[in-house]
Chain A
Amino acid sequence: MTKVRQLPYGEPAEKGLNVRLVMEEASRCLLCEDAPCSHDCPAGTDPGRFIRSIRFRNFTGACKTIRHNNILGASCAEICPQERLCEKACSRCGIDKPIQIGKLQAFAMEQERLLGLKILEAAPSCGKKVACIGAGPSGLAVAAELAKLGVSVTVYDENEKAGGMLRYGITPSRLSDEIIDQDIKAVESLGVKFELSRRIDKNELDKLVAQYDAVYVGVGLSASKMIPNLKGTDLKGVETALAFLKRARIAGGKIEDLGRVVIIGGGDVAMDCASTAKQCGAKSVYVAFIETLETMPASKRELDYIVDLGVPVIPAFKPVQLNGEDHVTSVELAAMEGNSKITLDADTVIFAVGQKVQDDYKGMTSDGKIFVGGDLANGGKTVVEAVASGKDIAGEIAKFLHI
């Protein structure tokens, strides 16, 4: 038996549950009083309630609970780190293992897709106008919550498609276009308008502030960090994680000549780069990071995923320099402890060492008609926390607008 999993680019990394397995899983649920899982969802998706609906075969009801509480319910089902949120709180942990809440949520959202359910609809206008800058998770959440109150919302984004990090910062094997589009459609069903391929710089922001009753800035952390003072980062073949993931998504995984790939970074984005490089046919892929396996920021699920795909990981090593004349040819790594050194031949080096705010929005805080939230405000957390932030900000904006 092969020890390495073959998974074409964009093919789902995890299989969903069919209706029979879903009923088995839902019947494992203890249907707790005041369910702890519901308390531990940052966005208030209320799994205790939607699992109960599934258990009593009210699948449409489950969709309604999810959609009303979490506008990105379909995406969150796929990529939320449930193991440290709702599933960690699950009472069933005291018996054997938690309910697979993400899988049940994914099933409910699949029903929404298959049955073409239209759960949300535009509210009567309250006469107010709000602009959201950034069509990422927090912006979408702000837009949806305000639209439910009758606010006319326009979302601006520099990319061709809405979704932000969902679309361009995560590999499609973990989150497909179909599922992102499903969530976007739910936002649109509330009457939210999108202005895409439209970058809003400082100058334009001022115009929007004049034009709208309030402006939400949810541009996230869309610029990539680099390791400062590292020799060779200007060589050809060196790129950032977000640039790489984005071009892979746009090309549908058809990127040739990656050659031998070295990824620097130990977070989920680095793991996504590793699987993507592997799926795009890289000759070899290594991931190296300064943290240990224990302290690396990536979730165990993501680490397991790339290990399954046959990607070797090198923990507790830092890059000391990149070699090459015009194009990168190798990466030199040194152990964090001791004197071990490794030189890895490389044709492509991808840096996934964190993201930062684009210069235009650096240091921006909420002020007057401007509201700031999401990763931009919290320093970069999960999608579900961005949704939570978006819901909170929408409340603040509503208060500001006296709705």
Chain B
Amino acid sequence: MSKKIDLSIDFLGVHCENPFFLSSSPVCHNYEMIAKCFDIGWGGVFYKTVGILGMNECSPRFDIVRKEGTPFVGFKNMEQISEHTWQENAEIIKKLKHDYPTKVMGVSIMGANDEEWALLAREMTKAGADMLELNFSCPQMTSHAMGSDVGMNPELVERYTRVVKQNTHLPVIAKMTPNITHIEDPSKGALRGGADAVSTINTIKSICNIDIENLTGKPVVNGKSSISGYSGAAVKPIALRFIAQLKQDPELANLPVSGIGGIETWQDAVEFLLLGAENLQVTTSVMQYGYRIVEDMKDGLANFMEAHGYTSLRDFIGKALPNVIPCENLDRSFQIIPKIDLDKCVGCGRCAISCFDGGHQAIDFDTKTRKPTITDKCVGCHLCLNVCPVFDCITPGEIKFKKGCEPHDVKRQHCYYA
């Protein structure tokens, strides 16, 4: 681990030794788990959502999306909030805060009405929480007065946020659902209610797989299943999109964001930070690989910062935002024509198949020599380059300017295969 690099960041006025937090979920619901994650090096946690009563959970409760040999492309869970009562959780939080005073104890809470939100806010503040996260986004609650049903309603978000703010002096983060067209609307509700930040995304409502023999979704709970939250690597693109939209909204631009959604490597972390997230939350990859993944996330992040000469996370937080622009503003004056390294080509013909069936019929495949040639029909879509199974065989080549377009410098994608 690079010694020179400081990964700490003050998030909502709370000093965090690094930006990596466990998100409120099955990975942090008791003392032993959180003590272990702190020992391994996580900066903090958002303690699994505390409600008034413990939950009654189903079995089994998880499912995965697998692509060929890769498990956990996406992950579905049907767990709700903490299985303990708020009193039991308050004890655990108190002990953790006592034993790990430098670690950050975010506590996620969820009530069903004003009184419950107020009580939970007061009691978790008293227990020693450093910040409160309001769970407006769990998509699998057995009560419709709770979870993502609330998060889709900007008025309710505003109201409960205000109630919490009136009952705590701590920073308050509203956790937003992606199960909505415009995440900006409830986020503005949170802002009006006094939220200090939002975190997103919570899980996406999903049915991962159908058991085609039992005629129901998976996991199968005594012959039945339910729609519930989807997470993991597959949702990262959706999370990044929501975060970019929040940060690019003029009213919300200054509202800090804690980023969540498929973070597994330091590169994922950098991507969230570049879009403006100031704090990072992780669950699915921890469920798959364990708390230890934070070691390579921290080290990788430090190595990245060192290589780029950054000394603080704030040096690059939000740096990619100005370059995410509306489609209509893209430079459409040129085509980057791919080039094929025929020495590397193994002659599988996949580029030609995809170019014909999904592109512009711009690759001739010689059936005798089994070698492809790119023709004048190429529009520079780069489908071939993405389907080619050989490392570094098809790469971006010549830049062709369209008729009537003035040649100029064109910035290309960096490190295509990284």
Contacts and interface: CB of A to CB of B under 8 A. Distances in A.
A92 interface: yes
Given A36-B370, A94-B390, A95-B390, A30 B350 contact: yes
Contact of A27 (B69, B346, B352, B353): B69
Contacts of B391: 95
A31 B354 CA distance: 12
B347 interface: yes
Contacts of A95: 346, 389-391
B346 A33 contact: no
A20 interface: yes
B68 A94 contact: no
A20 B71 CA distance: 10
B68 A23 contact: yes
Given A24-B68, A94-B347, A33 B353 contact: yes
Contacts of B370: 36, 91
> Which of A24, A27, A95: most chain B CB closer than 10 A?
A95
A93 B346 CA distance: 8
Contacts of B68: 23-24, 26-27, 55
Given A95-B389, A95-B390, A31 B350 contact: yes
Contacts, number: 44
B390 A33 contact: no
A32 interface: yes
Contacts of A36: 347, 370
B143 interface: no
Interface in A276-303: none
Interface in A12-37: 20-21, 23-24, 26-27, 30-34, 36
A346 B123 CA distance: 89
Contacts of B62: none
B353 A91 contact: no
Contact of B350 (A20, A26, A33): A33
B353 to A, nearest CB: 5
B372 to A, nearest CB: 9
Nearest to B347: A91
Given A94-B390, A95-B390, A33 B69 contact: no
B367 interface: yes
Contacts of A32: 347-350
B212 to A, nearest CB: 11
Contacts of A23: 68-69
A94 B365 contact: no
Nearest to A94: B346
Nearest to A30: B348
B69 A91 contact: no
Interface in A78-120: 91-95
A35 to B, nearest CB: 9
A24 B71 CA distance: 11
A303 to B, nearest CB: 29
> Which of A23, A27, A33: most chain B CB closer than 10 A?
A33
A337 to B, nearest CB: 42
Interface in A342-361: none
Contacts of B347: 32, 36, 91, 94
B339 to A, nearest CB: 18
B348 A24 contact: no
A16 to B, nearest CB: 16
Interface string B363-404: 001010010000000000000000001110000000000000
A34 B367 contact: yes
Contacts of A34: 349, 367
Nearest to A25: B69
A92 B391 CA distance: 12
Contacts of B350: 30-33
A52 to B, nearest CB: 12
Nearest to A24: B69
Contacts of B349: 32-34
A152 to B, nearest CB: 40
A352 B353 CA distance: 49
A21 B367 CA distance: 32
> Which of B345, B348, B370, B389: most chain A CB closer than 10 A?
B348
Contacts of A20: 69
B278 to A, nearest CB: 38
A36 B369 CA distance: 11
B364 to A, nearest CB: 12
A21 B69 CA distance: 7
> Which of B349, B350, B390: most chain A CB closer than 10 A?
B349
Interface string A42-73: 00000000000001000000000000000000
A91 B367 contact: no
B389 A33 contact: no
B348 to A, nearest CB: 4
A326 B140 CA distance: 86
Given A91-B348, A94-B346, A95-B346, A30 B389 contact: yes
Interface in B330-368: 345-350, 352-353, 365, 367
A31 to B, nearest CB: 7
A30 B367 contact: no
A55 B68 CA distance: 8
A400 B14 CA distance: 91
> Which of A26, A34, A92: most chain B CB closer than 10 A?
A34
Nearest to A26: B68
Contacts of A24: 68-69
Contacts of B69: 20-21, 23-24, 27
A227 B68 CA distance: 54
A36 B69 CA distance: 24
A36 B348 CA distance: 9
A91 B365 CA distance: 15
A333 B308 CA distance: 72
A21 B353 CA distance: 27
A235 B352 CA distance: 66
Nearest to B349: A33
Nearest to B348: A30
Contacts of B346: 30, 91-95
A94 B347 CA distance: 9
Contacts of A31: 348, 350
Interface string A249-260: 000000000000
A221 B131 CA distance: 84
A301 to B, nearest CB: 24
Given A24-B68, A27-B69, A33-B349, 15 more contacts: A30-B346, A30-B348, A31-B348, A31-B350, A32-B347, A32-B348, A32-B349, A33-B348, A33-B350, A34-B367, A91-B347, A94-B346, A94-B347, A95-B389, A95-B390
In order of increasing CB-CB distance, the 7 nearest A-B pairs are A33-B349, A94-B346, A24-B69, A27-B68, A30-B348, A32-B348, A91-B348
10 contacts: A23-B68, A24-B69, A31-B348, A32-B347, A32-B350, A33-B350, A36-B370, A91-B347, A91-B370, A94-B390
